[in-house]
Homo-oligomer: A and B are copies of this chain.
Amino acid sequence: MTRIACCRLAPRVGEPAFNRELVLRGLDGVDADIVVLPELVTSGYVFASREEASAAAIAADDPRLREWGSFGSLVVGGFCEAGEDGALYNSAAVVDGSGVLAVYRKTHLWDRERLIFTPGDVAPPLLETPFGRVGVLICYDIEFPEMPRSLALRGADLICAPVNWPVIERPPAGEHPPEQLTAMSCARVNRIFMAICDREGTERGVEWVGGTAVIDENGWIAGATSADVDLIRARDKVYSGLSDAFADRRPELYGDLV
Cβ–Cβ contact B174 & A243, under 8 A? no
Question: Is the beta-carbon distance between B172 and A181 smaller than 8 angstroms?
Answer: no
- How close is A212's CB to chain B, nearest CB, in angstroms? 17
Does any Cβ of B come within 8 Å of A118's Cβ? no
User: Which of B186, B188, B243 lies in contact with A178, CB distance below 8 A?
Assistant: B188
> Pick the contact of A258 from B123, B245, B248, B254 — CB < 8 Å?
B254
B-facing residues in A206-245 (Cβ within 8 Å): 218-221, 239-243, 245
* B-contacting 9-mer, from A44-52, A66-74, A137-145: A137-145
- Is residue A29 contacting chain B, with contact meaning CB distance below 8 A? no
Contact A153 B218 (CB under 8 A): no
Which of the candidate stretches A6-14, A17-25, A35-43, A106-114 sits at the interface with the other chain?
Answer: A106-114
Q: Tell me if A251 and B240 are in contact (CB < 8 A).
A: no
Name the distance in Å between A131's Cβ and chain B's nearest Cβ.
Answer: 23
Query: Which residues of chain A from 50 to 97 have a CB within 8 Å of any chain B CB?
Result: none
Chain B hits for A153, CB < 8 A? 256-257
| A145: nearest chain-B partner, CB-CB | B145
| B257 in contact with A146 (CB, 8 Å) | yes
A204 within 8 Å of B (CB atoms): no
A205 within 8 A of B: no
Q: Which residues of B contact A175 (CB under 8 A)?
A: 220
CA distance A204 to B24 in the complex (A): 58
| Closest Cβ–Cβ distance, residue A224 to chain B (whole Å) | 13
A171-B218 Cα distance, complex, nearest whole Å: 9
* 10 residue pairs from A and B, CB less than 8 Å apart: A111-B239, A111-B243, A123-B256, A140-B243, A172-B221, A174-B174, A181-B181, A181-B188, A182-B185, A251-B258
